[in-house]
Amino acid sequence: MKTCATILVALAVVATSSVAVAQRGAASKITGSAYEYPYFYGSAGMYQHNAYQHADVLREATSYGEPVPAEIAKEHTAAIRSSVNSANKKYANLRKMAGDNKQVHKHLDTIDQHHKKVLDLADKIDASVASGTGDADTVNAHAHDAAESLKAAQAEHEKLMKYFGQPQTKSAN
């Protein structure tokens, strides 16, 4: 009787673990890793959101027509660059792990395009404040465009998460 109960418990454990393995998302099926994909795109999304917050602060600060001091603008553009570059490193890891998965590369290429635009806009903000303070309208327009590009990158990030079968995150964007 004891042996029969032990066998039934063992079968239940095996059946349960088989279901759990079968339910892993497409991400873990690509490389067999259930950890790396969620880590890489979770981290990338966090960095991307951080860059968005900095662009949005610049946009909001200049929305009243007041010029922004160069020191403050450059503090935020440095944070934007740092966060976008950190996100890009995580996306590069995803790209490498995905091998020749064209669907993953399509999403990552779109994100890359948005990130390149954001980095270019950060350079334009820095150039516009080079004299000490930046024209509020110019900084506002560039910060707005950067925030919009980061929103678009985040939307593509969410599509990638959906492809991987991961739950959608709540975004403050």
pLDDT at 28 exceeding the cut of 70 = no
Averaged pLDDT, 74-98: 94
pLDDT confidence band for 138 (50 / 70 / 90): very high
Instruction: Tell me the C-alpha distance between 72 and 95, whole Å.
Output: 34
pLDDT confidence band for 162 (50 / 70 / 90): confident
Give the SS3 label for residue 1: coil
So what's the pLDDT on residue 163?
85
So what's the pLDDT on residue 8?
44
Q: Which residue has the higher pLDDT, 49 or 40?
A: 49
Instruction: Tell me the C-alpha distance between 154 and 166, whole Å.
Output: 15
Nearest to 87 by CA among 50, 36, 129: 50
For 107, the token pair is 């999403």
DSSP state of 65: S
Averaged pLDDT, 164-172: 60
Q: Are 133 and 69 in contact (CB under 8 A)?
A: yes
Domains and CATH numbers, the chain: 35-163 (1.20.120)
Instruction: Tell me the C-alpha distance between 73 and 139, whole Å.
Output: 8
So what's the pLDDT on residue 109?
98
Q: Are 98 and 41 in contact (CB under 8 A)?
A: no
pLDDT at 18 exceeding the cut of 80 = no
Owner of token pair 């590009």: 149
